[in-house]
Amino acid sequence: MDEIDIDARVTGERTVIDVTGTRDVAVVVRSAGGERIYLPPEGFDEPVSGSPYTSPYQGGGGIDGEESPYGGETGSTRGVIETAEGFRITHPETATEFDVYRGDEEAAE
């Protein structure tokens, strides 16, 4: 299995989770407002781009009007944007817990 990296930043206003190394995961975030399931961007089964011509610093639209250094399509699914190496989830509340569910690679073969 390839290695994936999950980076979570939780503030008093929102939670941002970056997934790198794969797009074949689903994330369940729990917060005061309830539970939300975030699926990867459309086309998640395509390999993560390793092209030297793809830069993660091609300006993409940010969340809540912020500039984002991440390229890719924004808004594939609500709260999820594609990045050069995976995807970013922005949950509008402070997370109390989150779980990551990875696809079964053997079932895909």
Report the pLDDT value the prediction gives residue 28, as an integer from 0 to 100. 95
pTM: 0.66
**What CA–CA distance (Å, rounded) separates 97 from 23?**
21
**What CA–CA distance (Å, rounded) separates 74 from 78?**
9
3-state secondary structure of 78: coil
CB 38, CB 26: distance < 8 Å: yes
Report the pLDDT value the prediction gives residue 40, as an integer from 0 to 100. 83
**What CA–CA distance (Å, rounded) separates 5 from 35?**
22
Identity of residue 63: I
pLDDT, tens digit only, all 109 positions of the chain: 578 999 999 999 999 999 999 888 899 999 999 999 998 876 655 555 544 434 344 444 444 444 444 444 333 357 899 888 889 999 999 999 999 998 765 554 4
CB 47, CB 54: distance < 8 Å: no
**What CA–CA distance (Å, rounded) separates 65 from 1?**
37
CB 19, CB 85: distance < 8 Å: no
Report the pLDDT value the prediction gives residue 101, as an integer from 0 to 100. 92
